[in-house]
Amino acid sequence: MKIKPILIVAGDLKSIFFEIFFKSLKKNNFKSPIIVIGSVNALQLFQKKNRFRKKVKLLDESLLHSYKLDNNSINIINVKLTKDEKHYIKNCFNVAFNILNSGFTNKLINAPINKSKFLDKKFLGITEYISNKFKRKNIAMLIYNKNLSVCPLTTHLPLKMVNKGINKQLIIKKTLLINDFYKKNIGYKPNIAVTGLNPHCESILKFNEDEKIIKPAIKFLNKKNLKIFGPFSADTIFLKQNRKKYDVIIGMYHDQVLAPFKSLYEYDAINLTLGLPFFRISPDHGPNKEMLGKNLSNPLSLTQSIKFLDKK
């Protein structure tokens, strides 16, 4: 069976992507051919700065099926730079989307992107941007590590809007996506913990979301034979004796689960979008332009992203 290539959208020009990309290639022998989608001039500039010597192979998007691809060279589909970097990144994504729609591959990584400079206000993040392009509304953000993963029920939603953003159906849909992903791709049915919204799952208000929304959703999923438990107080679920019981912790908002998770695993995690007709991953960090040119950035998250898709 022919191994499908991995597409990598290069993302922000002012980012650490090429540095961590070269570091990943130096330390690993990936079996899946990698195709970078971005500016060849930018790649070669960073290649020179990072003293990474490897032949660059320019690919024609319309002739992909005719190439014999491997990683002996850096495979790249050149996307011309534009005055507005937003249009450049959009063009990179459009090339990737065309290739995915053609069926040539089902593996996509996007490098770190400054969301505030690229996205329209109607999109909370790159996850929502890509999902919208493929008309998928039922999606989930899974920050994956083989020991423990987390899923924020709401993603980059302002905190004051979170209570209005959660509901029983949302919990059910995202949990089913996670359960199916683990069964199909990891090989087992996961133990899932769900946090409450309020401190200690208690509220001084008449309407307690933990009692009225979260508990009924968990009860419904239990009846569907999912191994799901909670709601648990978010301030203790990540304690060692608690978290080792679970494969996934679903939280009600982004920082409720991402802050403790990143404290535990730092760069040893990848950001997966569940619910798309292909694998989409991004490294679990931003462009980090402050580190640009310092050659100190950790490539682990990008390396783990490629390794995950290398097995698919």
CATH number of domain containing 98: 3.40.718.10
- Regarding whether 165 and 280 lie in a shared domain, the answer is no
> What is the rounded CA–CA span in Å between residue 283 and residue 304?
8
Per-residue model confidence (pLDDT) at position 159? 93
Task: With cut-offs at 50, 70 and 90, classify the pLDDT of residue 2.
Answer: confident
- Regarding whether 280 and 132 lie in a shared domain, the answer is yes
Total number of domains in the chain:
2
Q: Which of 11-25, 40-54, 141-155 has the highest mean pLDDT?
A: 141-155
Rounded percentage of the chain residues whose pLDDT exceeds 70 = 100
C-alpha distances (whole Å) from 248 to each of 41, 231, 241 are 41, 13, 14
- Regarding whether 168 and 84 lie in a shared domain, the answer is no
- Regarding whether 259 and 206 lie in a shared domain, the answer is yes
Per-residue pLDDT, averaged over 114-138, amounts to: 89
Per-residue model confidence (pLDDT) at position 1? 52
Per-residue model confidence (pLDDT) at position 276? 98
pLDDT digits (tens, 9 = 90+) for 267-304: 999 999 999 999 999 998 888 888 888 888 999 999 99
- Regarding whether 305 and 157 lie in a shared domain, the answer is no
Domain that holds residue 171: 138-271
Per-residue pLDDT, averaged over 38-59, amounts to: 93
- Regarding whether 7 and 115 lie in a shared domain, the answer is yes
Task: With cut-offs at 50, 70 and 90, classify the pLDDT of residue 117.
Answer: confident
- Regarding whether 169 and 199 lie in a shared domain, the answer is yes
Per-residue model confidence (pLDDT) at position 124? 86
The residue with tokens 């051919």 is 33
pLDDT digits (tens, 9 = 90+) for 159-182: 999 999 999 999 999 999 999 999
Q: What are phi and psi of 266, to 5 degrees?
A: 50, -115
- Regarding whether 123 and 1 lie in a shared domain, the answer is yes
Evaluate the omega torsion of the peptide bond into residue 199 and state whether it is cis, within 30 degrees of 0. no
> What is the rounded CA–CA span in Å between residue 250 and residue 75?
38
- Regarding whether 3 and 129 lie in a shared domain, the answer is yes
The pLDDT of residue 150 is above 80: yes
- Regarding whether 221 and 233 lie in a shared domain, the answer is yes
pLDDT digits (tens, 9 = 90+) for 199-229: 999 888 889 999 999 999 999 999 999 999 9
- Regarding whether 221 and 209 lie in a shared domain, the answer is yes
- Regarding whether 80 and 207 lie in a shared domain, the answer is no
Instruction: Please give the torsion angle defined by the CA atoms of residues 301, 302, 304 and 308, in that order, rounded to the nearest 10 degrees.
Output: 140
